[in-house]
Structure formats: C-alpha cells, structure tokens
Amino acid sequence: RILGEFCTMGLTPRYADRVGLSPQELNAGPSLCNLRLITEAHLRAIPFENLAQHGGRGGPATLDAEGTAEKLLDRRRGGFCFELNGLLAEWLRELGYGVLLVPSFVHAANGFAPRPTHVFLVVTVPGEVCRFFVDVGFGEPACRPLRLEYDVEQATPEGMVSRFVKKADDVVLEWLDGATNEFRPRLRFEGRRAFVDAAAGPSLAEFEKGLELVHSPESPFSQKLVVTLLTRERKLTVAGDTFKQTFPRFGPESRKTVQKLKSTKELRSILVESFEIPCGELEGLTLEKSQEAPNDLWGNK
C-alpha cells in the first residue's frame, strides 16, 4: 500500500516507542500540545539520511507504507522527506488529526529548485482555528509546528525564528539568519494547496516523480552522504567524510565542531554512537561517492 491512502496501520505502539513518547498520553486525543511533543520527539529520534544510496542496508526509498514503517520504526533508520513526513502523516491521521501533504520547492544557492522535490504537512487540530505547518523531513526544520499565518515572526524553543510571506499565489517560508539578521528563503509552495480540505489533498503516490529526482545520479543525495539529527540544543550532521556538531544551535554563543572522518570504520562508529543507527544497517556503507563529490556539496550543513 502507498503511503497517504487514508487507512490506518496501527502505528501508535511502534511509533511511540521509536520516538520515546507514551502511547497512553497520545491516545488521550489529538491536541496542539501533543502535536508539539510528537514533532520535537520525531526530530530528536529519527534522522534525515540517505544511507541506502551509499551502500547502507536496503534498496532505494519507496512510497510503500509497510516498508517505510519497517525501515523507520523497526529497523530504527531514518529517511527522506517522502518517508519521514509520509509516515508521520499516517500516524497523525490515526491519532485523529487532519493532514494534508503539500509539495514545495527548496531554496538553494542558485534560487528555488525548478521542480518540487520536498513534501511537508499541513495539520488541523480539533478545537484550533489555525492550520499548522509540520516538517520532520528537512535538513533543519523548526522543532515545533508553525502556525500558517502570514508576516508573523514565530520563534521556536531551539531559537529559530520563522515566518511565512505571501508572494502572489505562492507562499515562501523564511528563517532569520542570525549572522546577518536578515530573513532568508527556505521553501516555496502554492498557497491554495495548504488550505484545501484534507480529504481533497493529494496522496503520497502523486510524489513519485519527486522521489525519482532524489534517486537520479545527478541528485546531490546520490553524490554525497548526508545524515542529520536535531535536538533543541544541538544539530548533528554527517556530510560525506565530515562530522559536524553545532551547539547551541542559534544565538551569539553558538559554536561548531568539525571532525574529519578518516575511514568508513570511523564513519560507522559515529553513526552508531551519535545517531543510534544499528550497526547491521551500515555493513555495506561506503564513502567512495562522497569523496568524489564537490567539496561545497552539503558544505553548509
């Protein structure tokens, strides 16, 4: 079955165990408080990663619901936005939230990508008037849901400041760059897509083309290994043969340590100890393609 086809899988016990939350508390009913707990716990426990494209266990990412649940929850791996946000959408629906999948264009050094290669969630919470932007599948999203309101600066507990800006028919998500004190674009999406009824929204099957772009040989994900895990205080990133830790993540006291990984053995050790990825998932992992990739690829991660 494809992710996002609006039928439940009984995910709560497995998902709650994976992210370290109480099933009893979550089963009390959907609330904004619980949505905040889920979002932050997800980012803290399940990394964004592309290990399979660099020899890690398993084939390419798919939109298959059971296969994705087995990978993320049972094998304790991470994945791409389609996997991370797709499976979270399944679980939130199971818990009683309304969920929309929304395609978006990622901003990079050369501007916005020409095609939508990212998907995020718009979540409705019973009793709340506002809709909420939720993203657990980006390199560094906000650690809590953001209200879908325009031109309002929203600070989240890790120190990130975000805002949504209307640009004609599109909406741009921006974040405040502490070094320049200026807002920088992160994602762009069609505004209308975030406000349709959840039942009228797309299923994840409609994002197959985006997944194909991620898997293409020209994709940066195919060229270089990247693994990211976030807490309020710390950002952990492996980009090729470099391990970076940023703490605290924002503010004048933020600092970064950089460690060059000298071997695949050292890489595997970091992934096990710092990202808690089981060693059995890393047996075929290699840095070969990463070492051939341009130095500036993921250089700012």
pLDDT digits (tens, 9 = 90+) for 106-149: 998 889 989 899 999 999 999 999 999 999 999 899 999 999 99
pLDDT in tens, the chain (301 residues): 555 554 556 899 999 999 999 988 887 889 999 999 999 999 999 999 999 999 999 888 888 989 999 999 999 999 999 999 999 999 999 999 999 999 999 998 889 989 899 999 999 999 999 999 999 999 899 999 999 999 999 999 999 999 999 999 999 999 999 889 999 999 999 999 999 888 778 887 788 888 888 888 888 899 999 999 999 999 999 999 999 999 999 998 999 999 999 999 999 999 999 999 999 999 999 998 888 877 766 555 5
Residue type, 124: T
Residue 91 and residue 123: Cα distance in Å, rounded?
12
The pLDDT assigned to 6 comes to 44
Structure tokens at 214: 């991620």
The pLDDT assigned to 214 comes to 87
Cα–Cα distances in angstroms (integers) from residue 33 to residues 36, 127, 280, in the given order: 5, 12, 36
The kind and range of the H/E element at 189 are strand 182-190
**Predicted TM-score of the model (pTM):** 0.93
Cα–Cα distances in angstroms (integers) from residue 242 to residues 56, 86, 165, 278, 284, in the given order: 17, 29, 34, 20, 19
Catalytic residues: 81, 118, 135
Q: Cα-flanking dihedrals φ and ψ of residue 129, to 5°?
A: -75, -40
